[in-house]
């Protein structure tokens, strides 16, 4: 095995318990406790892979490109049933049980390779292209796990996942800027008169709030695709996906309440708002 593979296994920041422990801090419930145990386990396995890749891309102390390459190698072994990393060992039976496609996993790795350069998103359309790598694959994999994937559902899911990613970028403006990454569209920052140094200002400047408000409302519009998606699903999948989308809608509410300031204090969804949106989505019928 390569030195990078050994480093992946030996990196303390990538221990499985630390990776999975981040689930409670997500905007959406990763695996609701009242879902069937098997489904919860499968969703947690998907989350573990996605969060492992993100953690490497954001915070790994060693050569991140090499570690991402090591994850790609271990992903190949997971499809063969012989992975080394504990999180990939957890994922391997899920891959086999549901015949999961490899391409969505590879896109998640590709997104984090993009993050290793100085990220500057030129426009809203470019941001959506990035989300197609960094977020949309997760929703596609979830649909495969619940065995209800299909072109129309994946298209709806892509919109929901892109919205969730955009919301996260809005929450992390200052943190991303400190890492040399600006995910807010550069053309819209320039049009609003928001210079780079304003991205770290707390409280946020009016110009930054204006740009964040635009992204949040776009995300809310994308989350409208959750309604036909959830209405088309059966059983526990309906509840799980409603929970994911509800987290995004509740975060949009939280941003509005905070006057679209991402830097004044942590903008998080309230449990009550999340529950309200989840129930409304789960009970909705397709229009």
Q: Each residue of 156-195: b (16+ CB within 10 Å) or e? A: bbbbbbbbbbbbbbbbbbeebbeeebbbbbbebbeebebe
Q: Which of 148, 149, 185, 150 is nearest to 166 (CA)?
A: 185
Q: Mean pLDDT, to the nearest integer, of 23-34?
A: 76
Residues 6+ apart with CB under 8 A from 81: 92, 96
DSSP symbols for 182-247:
E-S-HHHHHHHT--GGGGG-SSPPHHHHHHHHHHHHHHHHHGGGHHHHHHH--THHHHHHHHHHHH
Residue 3 pLDDT > 60: yes
* Confidence band, pLDDT 50/70/90 cuts, at residue 118: confident
- Mean pLDDT computed over 135-164: 97
Is residue 1 very low, low, confident or very high in pLDDT (cuts 50, 70, 90)?
A: low
Residue whose C-alpha is closest to residue 281's, from 138, 111, 119, 160: 160
Check whether 246 has a pLDDT greater than 90: yes
Global pTM reads 0.93
pLDDT in tens, 192-244: 999 999 999 999 999 999 999 999 999 999 999 999 999 999 999 999 999 99
Share of the chain above pLDDT 70, in %: 98
The secondary structure element, H or E, covering residue 73 is helix 64-80
Banded model confidence at residue 4, pLDDT cuts 50, 70, 90:
low
Residue 50 pLDDT exceeds 60: yes
pLDDT of residue 134: 96
* Mean per-residue pLDDT, 98-112: 97
Average pLDDT on 121-125 reads: 97
Quote the pLDDT of residue 28.
Answer: 74
CATH code for 1-102? 1.10.600.10
**pLDDT average, residue stretch 57-76:** 90
CATH tag for 118-287 (out of 3.40.190.10, 1.10.600.10, 1.10.8.350, 3.40.50.300) = 1.10.600.10
Is the confidence at residue 186, as pLDDT, over 60? yes
pLDDT digits (tens, 9 = 90+) for 255-287: 999 999 999 988 998 999 999 999 999 987 754
In this chain, the answer to whether the domains covering 1-102 and 118-287 adopt an identical fold is yes
Q: What pLDDT was estimated at residue 166?
A: 98
Domain range annotation of the chain: 1-102, 118-287
pLDDT for 149 = 96
Q: What is the pLDDT of residues 152-185, one digit of tens each?
A: 999 999 999 999 999 999 999 999 999 999 999 9
Residue 119 phi/psi, 5° resolution? Answer: -85, 130
Q: Which of 11-15, 54-58, 160-164 has the lowest mean pLDDT?
A: 11-15
CA 15 to chain centre: 20
């Amino acid at each position: 095995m390569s030195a990078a593979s050994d480093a992946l296994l030996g990196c303390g920041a990538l221990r499985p318990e630390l990776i999975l422990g981040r689930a409670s801090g997500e905007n959406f419930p990763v695996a609701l406790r009242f879902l069937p145990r098997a489904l919860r386990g499968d969703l947690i396995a998907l989350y573990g892979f996605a969060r492992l890749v993100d953690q490497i891309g954001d915070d790994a102390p060693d050569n991140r490109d090499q570690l991402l390459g090591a994850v790609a190698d271990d992903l190949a072994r997971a499809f063969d049933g012989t992975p080394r990393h504990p999180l990939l060992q957890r994922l391997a039976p899920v891959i086999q049980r549901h015949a999961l496609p490899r391409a969505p996993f590879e896109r998640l790795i590709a997104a984090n390779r993009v993050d290793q350069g100085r990220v500057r998103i030129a426009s809203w359309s470019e941001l959506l292209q990035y989300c197609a790598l960094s977020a949309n694959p997760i929703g596609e994999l979830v649909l495969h796990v619940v065995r209800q994937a299909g072109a129309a559902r994946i298209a709806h899911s892509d919109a929901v996942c892109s919205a969730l990613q955009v919301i996260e970028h809005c929450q992390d403006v200052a943190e991303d800027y400190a890492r040399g990454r600006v995910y807010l569209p550069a053309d819209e920052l320039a049009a609003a008169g928001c210079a780079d140094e304003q991205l770290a200002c707390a409280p946020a400047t009016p110009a930054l709030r204006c740009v964040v408000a635009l992204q949040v409302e776009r995300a809310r519009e994308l989350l409208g695709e959750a309604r036909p998606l959830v209405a088309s699903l059966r059983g526990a999948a309906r509840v799980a996906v409603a929970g994911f989308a509800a987290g995004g809608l509740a975060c949009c509410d939280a941003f509005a309440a905070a006057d679209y300031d991402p830097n004044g204090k942590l903008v998080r969804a309230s449990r009550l708002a999340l529950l309200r949106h989840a129930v409304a989505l789960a009970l909705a019928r397709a229009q």
